[in-house]
Amino acid sequence: METAASSASATHPIRLVVNDDLQRNRLTVFFRLILAIPHFLWASLWSVIAILAWIVNWFATLFTGRSPDGLHNFLATYLRYITHVRAYALLVADPFPGFTGTQGSYPIDLEVDPPEPQNRLTVFFRIILAIPALLLANILSNLSHLLAIFSWFIALVMGRVPEGLRNFAALALRIETQTYGYVMLLTGRYPSFNVGVEA
């Protein structure tokens, strides 16, 4: 099942793919945040390098009009890994994720298209242009954290999460990843705010 806002969202260069069956292991749900601690630590270390890579990528894209392949792939892998970890921590998916951000390795996955030419002017002002999307992503992220509490209780009792809660969390995660991908210059395309979800 792919979460897509519409044909427009399906063709967005950064796409969230959902292959989750809604089933949750009650034991791992109970200890979810404790189990995620190694990922939180690894993500923190990886983030330091990713910030440096983003700065280099900004200069490279500004001067060449295109993100270099190596930087693009590194940042895309980092964003995919963060997506896996957030999906695990927020109960959007159940399996324990890997530490490498490998595409196709997790039920909530991220597809990122190869680099394309970008407008240097929008690259220069990227952070300013991204402010509305960052504000929305922050609001949706906060809502996802609140709803994850409900999902936690429901998953403990029922061994599954409601599809509506999972889909909202996936929507929020999609907008977040597209926003951060836009900021990191993985794409010149603005995040899609379409809220449609296809099964």
Structure confidence by residue, pLDDT tens digits, 131-174: 999 999 999 999 999 999 999 999 999 999 999 999 999 999 99
* Confidence tier at 199 by pLDDT (50, 70, 90): very low
Angle, CA of 98, 23 and 165, to the nearest 5°: 95
Please state the rounded mean pLDDT for residues 25-52: 97
Structural Rg of the chain based on CA atoms:
17
Mean pLDDT across the stretch 83-97?
A: 97
pLDDT of 197 strictly over 90: no
63-67 average pLDDT score? 96
175 Ramachandran zone, left/alpha/beta (phi>0; psi -120 to 50): alpha
- The letter for the amino acid at 15 is R
pTM: 0.90
Model pLDDT, residue 130: 97
pLDDT of residue 4: 38
* CA distance linking residue 25 with residue 79, whole number of Å: 26
User: Hey, how many other C-beta atoms are within 10 angstroms of the C-beta on 45?
Assistant: 9
Distance CA 137, CA 116 (A): 24
Beta bridge partners of 108: 18
Residue 6: predicted pLDDT: 41
* Beta carbons of 108 and 97 less than 8 angstroms apart: no
Sorted by sequence, the CB contacts under 8 Å of residue 10 that are 6+ apart come out as: 2, 4, 198
Enter the tokens of residue 32. 């979810």
Contact 142, 172 (CB under 8 A): no
